[in-house]
Amino acid sequence: MSEEIIQNGPAWLTRDYVKKKLCRYFKDDTLQLKKLSINPATAKGENYASVMSRINVEYITKDSKDIQDGTFLLKTTFADKDPAADLLTDYGVYTREMDMYEQILPHLGKMVKEELNDPRKLFAATVNVDRERDSIIFEDLSQEQYNVACRLKKLDLEHTHLVLDKLAKFHAAAAVLAERQPGIFDVNYDRGYFNKHIRGFEPTNRNLLMALSRSLELNEGLKERYQAKIDRLVDNIMDYGERSTSHNPGDFLTLAHGDIWTTNVMFQYDGKGHPINAILIDFQFSVWNSPAIDLHYFFSTSIHDNLRWKHQPELVQFYYHKLVKSLKKLKYSGTIPSLFEFQQQFRARAFYAVFSSLIFEPVMLYNGTEEASVAQGMAETESGIRFRDSVYAADHIREEMLHTLPFLDELGLLDEM
């Protein structure tokens, strides 16, 4: 392997390693790897929990002497020296995603395809899971013209409906899988962003909320109405977050994706530019909980503002009917909540919209010049403070807060809870 290739990928990703994995994936031991190159696969602001690389290959097989090309995606952990590595390891995100691709997603994909009669892909096919190196290689869906929508422009109603349809099928299949294989989600699916075991994200949450509070100094009206509430939230964010993800009697529970936002969905389009399928990616924070946390997270980070502020009850209703239809088709034996009960469950999880809106969304929409990373969210250094202040100083975030803060406040979500 050339020096350039080693620089662009982990040292263990050798030509021989890739060849062996492709031979197994294609079920062809005669495959000969002619060319291999590695390049970064994500831009700044698109991934805060892992390193994504694109593997480009040229190869020949016994059945085809012509050189074929292909691309695959490699997902790895951060380097050991990165503060994010220990934090995310404590949350079990790397082992969980490997479990998802090896043990869970194949079942869900089969159920959706064969029992829900939806032939469309639900996720990317897995080429290899390497637990020793905490890495996953999977197919590059861009080769099938799947694309990620713009995180800054967000999603219109057509895209939103498609995501909710796929999410409902994912949730329904997972709930039924838990019935068919009792205990399958018992290990390592209880450590979502908020949980009773670990509070690793507390420094990041506090730091970003304090930066939000400082930003309110630039708007006297917002400062007067909301700064004290944000300051109080700094000390209570983890307690309130844990409450919002606690299981209540009668809740419908399933496997929530846990990180469903714009860049964790890929869309395929028809010839007229209409989305015809949505693929879910990045299952590191999948957690056994209410599907309402996925809805709040998705609505708060990824859909057009007019949908977010004015149409959430309608969107919940749309999702609910898709969910119920899928549950019935899969012969779910548990109690299916009424729409009224599910809307109550959605409202009971409403604090999930607070941290999604005030912490995650501003970081997700960051397009400034400072280094953007998990470490910068945690760091008490000048560069960390500068990054966090620049997140909330951006014009589009300041404009967003003119709507976000009143929306949350009118629901009582910024008061003591």
pLDDT digits 0-9 by tens, 292-306: 999 999 999 999 999
Same domain, 226 and 300: yes
More confident residue, 1 or 186: 186
Same domain, 35 and 110: no
Q: Compute the average pLDDT of residues 51-76.
A: 88
Name the residue with tokens 């590595």.
85
Same domain, 25 and 101: no
Residue 164: closest CA among 66, 337, 37, 307: 307
What pLDDT is attached to residue 2? 42
pLDDT at 278 over 70: yes
What pLDDT is attached to residue 84? 65
Q: How confident is the model at residue 83 (pLDDT cuts 50, 70, 90)?
A: low
Q: How far apart are CA 377 and CA 203, in angstroms?
A: 8
Same domain, 120 and 246: yes
Q: Compute the average pLDDT of residues 222-227.
A: 97
Number of CB atoms found within 10 A of residue 266's CB: 21
> In the predicted model, what is the mean pLDDT of the chain?
91
Q: How confident is the model at residue 9 (pLDDT cuts 50, 70, 90)?
A: confident
Residues 6+ apart with CB under 8 A from 95: 131, 134, 188
Share of the chain above pLDDT 90, in %: 73
Same domain, 241 and 339: yes
Same domain, 57 and 179: no
Domain ends where: 76, 104, 135?
76
pLDDT at 122 over 80: yes
88 lies in some domain: no
Q: How confident is the model at residue 49 (pLDDT cuts 50, 70, 90)?
A: low
Residue 241: closest CA among 53, 417, 22, 29: 417
Q: Compute the average pLDDT of residues 369-377.
A: 83
Same domain, 238 and 281: yes
Domain ends where: 48, 76, 104?
76
29 lies in some domain: yes
CATH number at residue 240: 3.90.1200
- Give 343: exposed, middle or buried? Use CB within 10 Å, 0-12, 13-18, 19+: middle
What pLDDT is attached to residue 4? 39
Backbone Cα Rg of the chain: 22
Helix intervals (H) in 123-266: 157-180, 202-215, 220-244
Residue 380: closest CA among 208, 194, 198: 208
pLDDT at 102 over 50: yes
Residue 23: give the domain boundaries.
3-76
246 lies in some domain: yes
What pLDDT is attached to residue 134? 87
175 lies in some domain: yes
Same domain, 51 and 121: no
218 lies in some domain: yes
Identify whether the C-beta of residue 235 lies closer than 8 Å to the C-beta of residue 271: no
Number of independent structural domains in the chain = 2
Number of CB atoms found within 10 A of residue 311's CB: 17
Same domain, 185 and 48: no
Joined together, the tokens standing for residue 96 give: 């969980």
pTM, rounded to two decimals: 0.91
Same domain, 272 and 208: yes
Q: How far apart are CA 406 and CA 417, in angstroms?
A: 17
Q: Compute the average pLDDT of residues 231-247.
A: 94
146 lies in some domain: no
Q: How far apart are CA 94 and CA 284, in angstroms?
A: 6
49 lies in some domain: yes
What pLDDT is attached to residue 200? 86
Q: How confident is the model at residue 378 (pLDDT cuts 50, 70, 90)?
A: confident
pLDDT at 106 over 90: yes
- Give 188: exposed, middle or buried? Use CB within 10 Å, 0-12, 13-18, 19+: middle
Domain ends where: 76, 108, 137?
76
pLDDT at 104 over 50: yes
Same domain, 399 and 286: yes
Same domain, 331 and 378: yes
Q: How confident is the model at residue 78 (pLDDT cuts 50, 70, 90)?
A: low
139 lies in some domain: no
In Å, how far are 101, 168, 348 from 172, measured between CA atoms?
18, 6, 20
pLDDT at 37 over 70: yes
Q: How far apart are CA 230 and CA 414, in angstroms?
A: 7
